[in-house]
Chain A
Amino acid sequence: MQPVLELRHVSRDFPGHRAVDNISLELERGGFYSLLGPSGCGKTTTLRMIGGFEQPSAGDVLLNGSVVNALKPFERDVSTVFQSYALFPHLTALGNVEFGLRERKLADRKPRAMRALELVQLTGKHDRTPAQLSGGERQRVALARSLVLEPQILLLDEPLAALDPKLRKEMRTELKAMQRKTGITFLFVTHDQEEALSMSDKVAVMNQGRIEQFGTPEEVYLRPASRFVAGFLGAINWFGKAGVRPESTRVSRDRPDHVPCCRAAVESTLFFGNVVHVNSVLDEGGRAVAELLRTQTTGEQNHFKEGEPVWIHWEPADELHFE
C-alpha cells in the first residue's frame, strides 16, 4: 500500500541552526502517529513542512506519492489543529466549521458542519462564538473544523497542551476514538510521552532535528534504540552500563538470590495512591527509583525508613543495553 505521507531526507535550516536534520518517515493510511520529543527538537517544524507553512531546505515531502514541496497550504489536502486553536473570533462555532467547506465550494455545508460538531459532541453549541466557549470546547471546534474536510492527514500541534490535566486525559481516549471512527490519518505532535504512548499506533521519537526511533509504543518503550529514547520515554535507573525501568526495579531488606543486585540506603518513600516510589542512594554512587504497585507491596514495604539499608535488584531480562 502506498504511504499517505512520505518524508525523504528532509532538512530545514534556519539562520544559525538546523531545525530538522535529514529525516525520513513513512506513514500508512488510517494510522494514529505521534512525533514525540523535547521542545526545540524539530517536531513542530516537521509538522509545519507537511502543512505547507515551511519549505524544506533539502529533501521531499510526498502526499499519496506525489511531491508537494511547492504547494501552498491552501493547495494541500492536509489540515492542522493549531496549538492555540486559531479559531476565527468573528464567526460562530458553525461558521468556523463551515469556513473550509465554503472555500472548497462543497455542497451541503450546513448539514456536514452540524455532523462534524456532533462528532466532537458540540451539538447545541453551534451558534456560540469562540469567546463564549470553554478551552476544551474551543479545541473541539478546531478539531471539527479540520475533520469536516476529511483531509488526507490531520496534523495536531500539541492540541492538549492548553487543557487542564483531567480534561487532557479524557481527550486522549476521545481523540483516539475519533481517529478510529473517521479513519483519517492523525499525526500528533507532543512532548508528553504518556500522550504519545497511550494514543499512537507508532511513535517517532525526535531529538536535535533527527528521528532517533520510529516504532510501536511497546517497541520504543521496551526496546529503545538509544539512551536518549530510553530516558525520554520514561524514568530509568543506571546500574553501570545497564539501564532498568523503575517498575522493573525491586527493593528488599534481605539479599536476593541469583539476580543482579546492589546495596543502597533508602532516601525517601513517595506514596502516589496506585504506586509507591522508593528512592534510594546506591553505595557505589548514583540513585535508583523503584516503582512498586501498591497492591503488590506489603504494608512493611510502604514504610521503609529513611536511611535504612536495603538491596536493590532486578531481572537480567529487564536490562536495557546501549553501545
Chain B
Amino acid sequence: MSPRLHINVRRLFLLPARVWMTLFFAAPIAIVVSYSFLTRGDYGGVEQPWTIENFTRLADPLYVAILWRSIWIAALSTALCALLGFPLALFISRSGRRRNLYLQLVLLPFWTSFLVRTYAWLFILRDTGLVNTVLMRLHLIASPLQLLYNDRAVLLGLVYNFLPFFVLPMYATLERLDPALLEAAADLGARPFATLWRVVIPVSAPGFVAGSVLVFIPCLGAYLTPDLLGGGKTVMLGNLVQNQFTTARDWPFGSAASLVLMLASALLLASLMRSRMARELM
C-alpha cells in the first residue's frame, strides 16, 4: 500500500467520527459559547446586544460560594470513593477465580437507571423511610432523624453512584501489579502493611489518578443528586445551570455558568496530564 493511499484510508475511517463530533459536540459548544455573550430575551431565549455581563455576574460572592461548594463536595466525594474503592479493588484483584463475580456485583447498580437508584435512596432516607421506620420500631429513636435534604445525603448519593467509576480503573491497575514486587518487598523485610504503604499504593498511583478524575468531574457537574437528596438546599454548580435554563429562563447566564464548569474540569485535567503520574498512565 502506498503511503498516500494509507493516509486516505485513515481519513475515510475517521470521517464518521469527525462528522459526529462536529455536529453533536463542536456545534452545541459553539452555540453555548455564543449564548454566553448575549442578553437574556424578555420571554426566554437570547437576543442582542453582545455583553460580558453574564461572566461578571458570576463573580458575585453568591455564585463564587456555589463554585467553591461544588468543588468541595466533589473533592469530598472523590476522597470517600478512594477510601472505599481502593480496599474493594484490592480485595477483588486478589480474589482469584471469584474476581469476575465481584466485578459484576460492583457493576450491578448500572442495570437500573441513575434516576431510579437515586429515588430509591429517597425511600430509604425519608422520615417514613426504611432507616427511620426500623430505628423507631426498635425504639432507638422517638422521632424521625433528618437524613435527607442535607450535604451528607448528597455526599452519600454521589459516592453511591460514582463508586464503580473509581473501583474499575483501580482494579485494572492493581490487577496488573507484578506479584514479584510484593514478594521482593517481603524479601527485603517489609511486613504486609509496609508493603501496602510503600509499594502497592505508590505503584498504583495511575489507578488513583484515573479513578479520581472519573469521579471528580461528574461530581462537580452533578445536579440530579443534589436536587433530589439535597432538596434544593445544597445547591451545586449543576443546579445553578439547570435553574437558569428552566425556572429562571436566563439562557445566557446558564451558558456562562456551564462554560465556567467546563473550564474548571478542563484545567483540572490539564494539570493532571502534565503530572508525572499521568504520563505513566498513558
Interface residues of B in 183-234 (CB under 8 A from A): 183-191, 194, 198-199, 202-203, 205
Say which residue of A51, A87, A90 sits within 8 Å of B187 (CB atoms). Answer: A51
B181 in the interface (beta carbon within 8 A): yes
In this complex, what residue of A is CB-closest to B202? A90
Q: Which residues of A contact B42 (CB under 8 A)?
A: none
B138 in the interface (beta carbon within 8 A): no
Are A89 and B203 in touch, CB under 8 angstroms? yes
Closest Cβ of chain A to B189, distance in Å, is 4
Closest Cβ of chain A to B244, distance in Å, is 45
The distance in angstroms between the C-alpha atoms of A89 and B189, with both chains bound, is: 18
The distance in angstroms between the C-alpha atoms of A52 and B198, with both chains bound, is: 21
Are A53 and B183 in touch, CB under 8 angstroms? yes
Closest Cβ of chain B to A86, distance in Å, is 4
Interface residues of A in 189-218 (CB under 8 A from B): none
Closest Cβ of chain B to A83, distance in Å, is 8
Q: Which residues of A contact B202 (CB under 8 A)?
A: 88, 90
Type the 1/0 row for A84-106, where 1 means its CB is closer than 8 Å to any CB of B: 10111110000000011001100
In the complex with contacts A99-B185, A99-B198, A86-B190 CB distance below 8 A: no
The distance in angstroms between the C-alpha atoms of A99 and B202, with both chains bound, is: 14
A239 in the interface (beta carbon within 8 A): no
B60 in the interface (beta carbon within 8 A): no
The distance in angstroms between the C-alpha atoms of A84 and B180, with both chains bound, is: 8
Q: Which residues of B contact A103 (CB under 8 A)?
A: 188-190, 194
Are A82 and B184 in touch, CB under 8 angstroms? yes
The distance in angstroms between the C-alpha atoms of A302 and B205, with both chains bound, is: 63
Residue in A82, A90, A145 with the greatest tally of chain B CB atoms within 10 Å: A90
Are A82 and B186 in touch, CB under 8 angstroms? no
Q: Which residues of A contact B187 (CB under 8 A)?
A: 51, 73-74, 78-80, 146
Interface residues of B in 158-186 (CB under 8 A from A): 178, 180-181, 183-186
The distance in angstroms between the C-alpha atoms of A80 and B185, with both chains bound, is: 10
Number of A-B contacts (CB under 8 A): 57
Q: Which residues of B contact A53 (CB under 8 A)?
A: 183, 186
Q: Which residues of A contact B194 (CB under 8 A)?
A: 103
Are B188 and A99 in touch, CB under 8 angstroms? yes
Residue in B178, B180, B205 with the greatest tally of chain A CB atoms within 10 Å: B180
A72 in the interface (beta carbon within 8 A): yes
Say which residue of B180, B186, B189, B203 sits within 8 Å of A90 (CB atoms). Answer: B203
Q: Which residues of B contact A90 (CB under 8 A)?
A: 202-203, 205
Are A149 and B188 in touch, CB under 8 angstroms? yes
Q: Which residues of B contact A87 (CB under 8 A)?
A: 184
Are B188 and A145 in touch, CB under 8 angstroms? yes
In the complex with contacts A99-B198, A103-B194, A86-B189 CB distance below 8 A: no
Are B178 and A73 in touch, CB under 8 angstroms? no
Are B186 and A72 in touch, CB under 8 angstroms? yes
Residue in B181, B188, B191, B198 with the greatest tally of chain A CB atoms within 10 Å: B188
Q: Which residues of A contact B189 (CB under 8 A)?
A: 74, 100, 103-104, 149
Q: Which residues of B contact A73 (CB under 8 A)?
A: 183, 186-187
Type the 1/0 row for A55-87, where 1 means its CB is closer than 8 Å to any CB of B: 000000000000000001110001110101011
The distance in angstroms between the C-alpha atoms of A146 and B205, with both chains bound, is: 26
Say which residue of A78, A86, A104, A145 sits within 8 Å of B180 (CB atoms). Answer: A86
Are A88 and B199 in touch, CB under 8 angstroms? yes
The distance in angstroms between the C-alpha atoms of A90 and B203, with both chains bound, is: 6
The distance in angstroms between the C-alpha atoms of A90 and B198, with both chains bound, is: 10
The distance in angstroms between the C-alpha atoms of A53 and B184, with both chains bound, is: 10
The distance in angstroms between the C-alpha atoms of A149 and B188, with both chains bound, is: 8
The distance in angstroms between the C-alpha atoms of A104 and B203, with both chains bound, is: 21
Q: Which residues of B contact A86 (CB under 8 A)?
A: 178, 180-181, 183-184
Say which residue of B178, B181, B190 sits within 8 Å of A74 (CB atoms). Answer: B190
Q: Which residues of A contact B185 (CB under 8 A)?
A: 88, 99
The distance in angstroms between the C-alpha atoms of A109 and B180, with both chains bound, is: 24
Are B186 and A74 in touch, CB under 8 angstroms? yes
The distance in angstroms between the C-alpha atoms of A88 and B184, with both chains bound, is: 9
The distance in angstroms between the C-alpha atoms of A132 and B67, with both chains bound, is: 42
In this complex, what residue of A is CB-closest to B189? A103
Closest Cβ of chain B to A174, distance in Å, is 22
The distance in angstroms between the C-alpha atoms of A39 and B17, with both chains bound, is: 51
Q: Which residues of A contact B199 (CB under 8 A)?
A: 88
In this complex, what residue of B is CB-closest to A80? B187
Having A52-B186, A86-B183, A88-B181, one finds 17 other A-B pairs with CB under 8 Å, namely A51-B187, A73-B186, A74-B188, A74-B191, A79-B188, A80-B183, A82-B184, A84-B178, A86-B181, A87-B184, A88-B203, A99-B188, A99-B198, A100-B189, A103-B189, A103-B194, A146-B187
B residues whose Cβ falls under 8 Å from a Cβ of A: 178, 180-181, 183-191, 194, 198-199, 202-203, 205
A residues whose Cβ falls under 8 Å from a Cβ of B: 51-53, 72-74, 78-80, 82, 84, 86-90, 99-100, 103-104, 145-146, 149
Can you name 22 A-B pairs with beta carbons within 8 Å? A52-B186, A74-B187, A74-B188, A74-B191, A80-B184, A80-B187, A82-B183, A82-B184, A84-B178, A84-B180, A87-B184, A88-B181, A88-B184, A90-B203, A90-B205, A99-B185, A99-B188, A100-B188, A103-B188, A103-B189, A104-B189, A146-B187
For the complex of A and B, 7 pairs with smallest distance between CB atoms: A100-B188, A103-B189, A86-B184, A86-B180, A73-B186, A90-B202, A74-B186
